């Protein structure tokens, strides 16, 4: 009898490891799931991905499972998250993976998290602008952020869902309504613009992209994306033609992928890579590493706008410092004026969605 009891306990532990409470299984088998912490699991941070079964969510989940700073990884979605969870849980890395399916399990997915990454929403298709996504994705972000406010208000939130220029203000308004808004903990992920800028500049210079650092400020759509090519590291100069080519290509990088995929999707793999790169920076900041600096779309006083993307230093409570733009050349000053006009209306659109 003791041997059967031990076996049942092990089975229950495995079930609890992969999924939240499964009442149907418990009723049919008599087994009670347990809250599992896998043997040999690494110490680290607890991370939730909301939208983990999507085009960005799946590679993002895989890459976060590989991150040694992650100890517990919660994968939430409204469809297919059990399959993604089972698949990724077989990877022999330290993070324990648990899956959560449907809105009734959202609170369980979020409770106790240190970092919440939100790629949930519909992807952009050919001919669509990021604003075309607004009505669907705005409601999704609102619901998910209400869950964050209730279950893990101290978590760092990395918001990927487009249009970021509007969804970050939506998230801020949701948190303000709940009395949990901390501008240091809400970051819109614009890392893909930086990744693209580093890649495209490296192509022009003929060097390794890992040696390039291009600040990208403003927002995360079209002309609001402003690469500061005058501040590239290593220092270099570009002809007016190169500057125009690089700026336009960086601004239209998402469209380039959407058109190349010809209706089969948007920038999912490069976005997942960029999101993990940014999430890793946030986790290193939480750990207390010094000098962790990345660009992000945040509540800001760098300009007259309430939100703006610029370089931020990450620390134990999220944003430790927001850096000024630094000296801009004439081309960048013109670009900044264009970016701010577009950003102002996108920000207002997000705020109005919650206040209406």
The residues annotated as belonging to the active site are 220
Total residues found in the chain within this entry: 356
**51 in a labelled binding site:** yes
**222 in a labelled binding site:** no
Query: In the chain, count of helices (H) and strands (E)?
Result: 12, 11
Q: How far apart are CA 174 and CA 176, in angstroms?
A: 5
Q: How far apart are CA 92 and CA 255, in angstroms?
A: 36
179: which DSSP letter? T
Give backbone dihedrals phi and psi of 241, rounded to 5 degrees, phi first.
-65, -45
3-state secondary structure at position 182: coil
**137 in a labelled binding site:** yes
**57 in a labelled binding site:** yes
**162 in a labelled binding site:** yes
**52 in a labelled binding site:** yes
Q: How far apart are CA 194 and CA 199, in angstroms?
A: 9
**124 in a labelled binding site:** yes
Is the bond preceding residue 128 a cis peptide, omega within 30 degrees?
no
**19 in a labelled binding site:** no
Q: How far apart are CA 41 and CA 38, in angstroms?
A: 6
Within 8 A by CB and 6+ apart from 76, the residues are 48, 49, 50, 51, 52, 99, 100, 101, 105, 106, 109, 110
Residue for token digits 């990454």?
117
The answer for 96, left when phi > 0, alpha when psi is -120 to 50, beta otherwise, is beta
Q: Which residues are annotated as a binding site for NAD(+)?
A: 51-57, 77, 137, 160-162, 271
Q: Which residues are annotated as a binding site for substrate?
A: 124, 130, 162, 196
Q: Which residues are annotated as a binding site?
A: 51-57, 77, 124, 130, 137, 160-162, 196, 271
């Amino acid at each position: 009898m003791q041997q059967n009891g031990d076996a049942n306990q092990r089975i229950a532990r495995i079930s609890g490891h992969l999924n939240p409470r499964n009442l149907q299984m418990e009723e049919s088998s008599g087994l009670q799931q347990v809250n599992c912490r896998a043997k040999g699991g690494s110490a680290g941070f607890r991370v939730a991905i909301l939208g983990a079964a999507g085009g960005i969510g799946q590679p993002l989940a895989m890459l976060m499972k590989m991150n040694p700073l992650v100890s517990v990884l919660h994968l939430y979605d409204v469809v297919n998250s059990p399959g993604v969870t089972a698949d990724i849980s077989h990877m022999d890395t330290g993070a324990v993976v648990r899956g959560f399916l449907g809105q009734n399990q959202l609170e369980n997915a979020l409770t106790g998290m240190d970092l919440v990454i939100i790629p949930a929403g519909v992807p952009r298709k050919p001919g669509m602008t990021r604003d075309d996504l607004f009505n669907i994705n705005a409601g999704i972000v609102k619901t998910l952020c209400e869950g964050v406010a209730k279950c893990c208000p101290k978590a760092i939130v990395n918001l990927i869902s487009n249009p970021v220029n509007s969804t970050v203000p939506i998230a801020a308004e949701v948190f303000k309504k709940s009395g949990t808004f901390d501008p240091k903990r809400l970051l819109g992920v614009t890392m893909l613009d930086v990744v693209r800028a580093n890649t495209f500049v490296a192509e022009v210079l003929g060097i390794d992209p890992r040696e390039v650092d291009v600040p990208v400020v403003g927002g995360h759509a079209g002309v609001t994306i402003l690469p500061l090519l005058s501040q590239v590291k290593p220092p270099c100069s570009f002809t007016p033609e190169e500057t125009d080519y690089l700026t336009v290509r960086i601004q239209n990088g998402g469209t380039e992928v959407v058109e190349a995929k010809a209706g089969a999707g948007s920038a999912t793999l490069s976005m997942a890579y960029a999101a993990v790169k940014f999430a890793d920076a946030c986790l290193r900041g939480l750990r207390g590493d010094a000098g962790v600096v990345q660009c992000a779309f945040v509540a800001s006083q760098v300009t007259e706008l309430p939100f703006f993307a610029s370089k931020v230093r990450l620390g134990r409570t999220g944003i430790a410092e927001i850096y000024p733009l630094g000296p801009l050349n004439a081309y960048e000053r013109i670009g900044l004026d264009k970016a701010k006009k577009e950003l102002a209306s996108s920000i207002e659109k997000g705020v109005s969605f919650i206040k209406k």
